[in-house]
Every structure is written in structure tokens, then in C-alpha cells.
């Protein structure tokens, strides 16, 4: 299958695109976009990949589902479009960033600036029906994004994987801890942020690791 995605990703992911499950997933997603309001907009489904080529990835931040309300999702996990109010989890991310590194809470929740520096902002499921959280789970996206994590673990060295919350932490089994740094904590959701997300210092730990491995730190 010929998928419109950044060329370096296309090369490493072509075996996935040729699998039967991906054809079935594509049929499902196309049908959903025809019949329902689905987020993110179709051209932004692979925005995380198009914004951060395979060999540029330094950090992988894993989310679960795109935001499912209007104007929020644009293909980068936890990120929202310019001018959109911060969802609670994103606000807590900015609070931890401020406490950890002293970075002021930004005026926009658009995390494209992170992606351009090598942060792959990857949701496990890349699409969602409007107002229905989790509506596209179990359709094949998770198999695809698990393959992405596995390929990064196998073909790259010295990456940082930020796994926030129980769902993300289960993905640790796909990652070689001898080759990469795996950071785990509670999720930044208001339901769990005070149970170990606040004070996790993941932004400092990430940059310290990148510097130690001869890479430019992220300007969060």
C-alpha cells in the first residue's frame, strides 16, 4: 500500500503497510471519515511522523487517543492547535515542566516545537470519532504503533521513552532497556498527576541522558 507519510518512515514501515491488517484498518478509517466527524483532520493522521523523521527521533512520548472535541487534535499526542484552551493533562505537563526546569507556562499548547527537535509525539491510536473517546481502539492502530515502538527500539540507539500512566507503561515490553532510557510515572491527568507525575523530573532526566549520549538536549 502506498501511504502518504514522511519518506524515512515510509521506508521502515512499508512492511506494516503491506500487511492485511493495515488494509483493513485503512478501510475502516476511510469509512469513519465518510460517515462521521473524526479527529484529527485526515491530512494530519500521520503528523507525528511527518514532523519528526525516523533518524531525527531522540525522545518518544506516548499518548493513548487523540483529543475528541472540536479543533483540539492535530496528530501530536497531548498537543492542541494554537488558540485552543489547554486540556487538563497538558496544563499539568506544563506545570511539571515549570517546576522541573523553570520553563514558563507557554501561551500555546501546540507542541510542534518539540516535534521539530526530535520528540515523537505518538498516540497509540491515531484517530477517534468526535465526542467518543476510545472509539477507534482495537481496530489495528495499536498493532501499527507497537511496530513503530519496536522498530525504534531495534534500529536506533540512546532514545528516551517517556511512559506516563499504566497504559503507556505496558509498552515498555517492546523496548530494549539496554539500548534506551525508559522513564515511567503516573499520567498527567488530574486523576493521577498527584500520585507521581508531579515531581517526576522527566524533562531533566531526558536532557541529562541526551547530553550524556552526545545529543542536543530538548529546548522544552
Q: Which of the residues are catalytic? A: 65
Give CA–CA dist 200/206, Å, rounded: 11
In whole angstroms, give the CA distance from residue 153 to residue 137.
Answer: 23
H or E stretch covering 166: helix 166-169
Sign of CA dihedral 186, 147, 33, 7: positive
Count CB neighbours of 219 within 10 A: 11
* Separation between Cα atoms, residue 38 and residue 34, nearest integer Å: 9
Instruction: Give the integer Cα–Cα distance in Å for 159 and 61.
Output: 11
Q: 15, exposed or middle or buried, with CB in 10 Å at 0-12, 13-18, 19+?
A: exposed
Rounded to an integer, what distance in angstroms lies between the CA atom of residue 68 and that of residue 165? 19
Query: In Å, what is the CA distance from 220 to each residue of 64, 65, 82, 86, 140?
Result: 21, 23, 17, 17, 32
CA dihedral of residues 103, 106, 109, 115 (deg, nearest 10): -50
Amino acid at each position: 500500500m502506498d501511504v502518504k507519510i514522511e519518506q524515512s518512515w515510509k521506508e521502515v514501515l512499508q512492511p506494516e503497510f503491506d500487511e492485511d491488517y493495515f488494509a483493513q484498518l485503512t478501510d475502516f478509517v476511510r469509512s469513519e471519515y465518510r460517515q462521521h466527524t473524526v479527529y484529527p483532520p485526515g491530512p494530519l493522521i500521520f503528523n507525528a511522523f511527518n514532523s519528526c523523521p525516523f533518524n531525527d527521533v531522540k525522545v518518544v512520548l506516548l499518548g493513548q487517543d487523540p483529543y475528541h472535541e472540536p479543533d483540539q487534535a492535530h496528530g501530536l499526542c497531548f498537543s492542541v492547535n494554537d488558540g485552543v484552551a489547554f486540556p487538563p493533562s497538558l496544563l499539568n505537563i506544563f506545570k511539571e515542566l515549570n517546576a522541573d526546569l523553570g520553563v514558563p507556562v507557554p501561551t500555546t499548547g501546540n507542541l510542534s516545537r518539540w516535534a521539530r527537535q526530535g520528540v515523537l509525539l505518538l498516540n497509540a491510536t491515531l484517530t477517534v470519532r468526535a465526542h467518543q473517546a476510545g472509539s477507534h481502539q482495537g481496530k489495528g492502530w495499536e498493532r501499527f504503533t507497537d511496530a513503530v515502538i519496536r522498530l525504534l527500539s531495534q534500529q536506533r540507539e540512546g532514545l528516551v521513552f517517556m511512559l506516563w500512566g499504566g497504559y503507556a507503561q505496558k509498552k515498555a515490553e517492546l523496548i530494549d532497556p539496554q539500548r534506551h532510557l525508559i522513564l515511567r510515572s503516573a499520567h498527567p491527568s488530574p486523576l493521577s498527576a498527584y500520585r507521581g507525575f508531579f515531581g517526576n523530573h522527566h524533562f531533566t532526566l531526558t536532557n541529562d541522558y541526551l547530553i550524556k549520549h552526545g545529543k542536543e538536549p530538548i529546548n522544552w
